[in-house]
Structures are given as C-alpha cells and as structure tokens.
Amino acid sequence: MAVTLRDFMSSGDVLTIEPSATLGEAARALRKRDVGAAVVVEGGAVVGIFTERDLLRAIADSRHPDVGQVQSYMTANPVTLPPDHSPSEAAQIMSERRFRHIPVMEGDELVGIVSIRDLMSAGLRIGSADAHMGTDFP
Ligand code: AMP
C-alpha cells in the first residue's frame, strides 16, 4: 500500500486556538505543547493557521501579548491536504510555499497536522534547491 500523510502526521489532539485568543495565550499554548503551530478554529471550522513565525511578526510590530489577537497575525484559509495525500508532494508544497506545517483535513474535519520535521524524520528528501537548512527547517 502507498505511503500517505496518515503515516507521518500528528493526529488525535491537534493544538487549536480561537481567532480571538490573545498573542500571549497563543504563545503559552505553543510553549506548553512544545509545537510551532496551532490551527485556528472558529465555530468548529478551520479558519487559519498561527505559527511561531506569526508570533515573530507580532513582536516585530511591538504588539502587546495581552492585547494583540491571533486573527490579526494568522494566515487565513491555509493550505490543507487530505490524509491519503502523498508525503513527498506535501514536502514539495512546504518547500515551494515556504511554510513548515499543513493541517490534514478529511472533508471538513481536522484529523491531524503534518510538519516538515515529521516528513524529515521519516527520511524523505526535500526536493528543492532553495530549502535553507537551519532557517526554514530548524
Ligand atoms: P511556518 O513556517 O509553518 O512557521 O509558517 C510560516 C508562515 O506561513 C506563517 O505566516 C504561517 O501562518 C504560514 N503558514 C504556515 N502553514 C501554512 C499553510 N499550511 N498554509 C498557508 N500558510 C501557512
């Protein structure tokens, strides 16, 4: 049987956060779970993704952690993939689009999240010459 994202993704308890959450709440949630991304969910629907990169932009803008909100810095309508998708294609999308996370959706349901780290630790090669080790993939 073909190898799919289901074989590499983190599933079960994906970190989610509301768009109205503060930047501080988001930072604490990421730290507590020791992950780099949270899927932004509103009324049960996936509306965005918020990662440590977004937190960095908020800090650079001098946004206060108790005032600034996730919705101002998240990326709306993120790229998602179904669990039966090819892992190497997912890695290629991440490399080309320069992000490191893809929520995995089965229809409207969030079933997991896959990171570039998940795919790298699985030994897959990132097929792009402009992938910068240590910056894009710390
Ligand atoms: P990352 O490298 O995953 O920390 O994300 C870098 C930037 O891309 C951040 O602004 C994220 O909000 C955004 N981003 C991350 N994952 C996705 C995705 N699957 N679709 C669209 N944007 C994303």
How does pLDDT run along the chain (138 residues), one tens digit per residue? 688 999 989 988 999 999 999 999 999 999 999 999 999 999 999 999 999 999 999 999 999 999 999 999 999 999 999 999 999 999 999 999 999 999 999 999 999 999 999 998 776 554 444 444 444 444
For ligand 1, the distance from its centroid to the CA atom of residue 64, given in whole angstroms, is 22
* Residue 38 domain flag: yes
Q: Which residues contact 41 (CB under 8 A, 6 or more apart)?
A: 16, 17, 18, 47, 110
* Closest residue by CA, ligand 1 atom 12: 75
User: Which among 93, 118, 138 has a CA at the least distance from the CA of 11?
Assistant: 118
Note whether 102 and 114 are within 8 A (CB). Answer: yes
CA–chain centroid gap for 59, Å, is 19
Q: Which two tokens stand for residue 58?
A: 């908020």
R_g of the chain computed on alpha carbons: 15
* Residue 26 domain flag: yes
User: The tokens 């080309």 sit on which residue?
Assistant: 96
* Residue 138 domain flag: no
- At residue 69, the pLDDT reads 98
For the chain, what is the domain count? 1
Note whether 46 and 78 are within 8 A (CB). Answer: yes
CATH of the domain at 116: 3.10.580.10
* Residue 88 domain flag: yes
- Expressed as residue numbers, the domain containing 114 is 5-132
Atom in ligand 1 nearest the alpha carbon of residue 136 = 2
* Residue 116 domain flag: yes
Q: Is 26 in the pocket of ligand 1 (CB under 6 A)?
A: no
Beta strands in 52-126, from DSSP E residues, in sequence order: 75-76, 101-106, 109-115
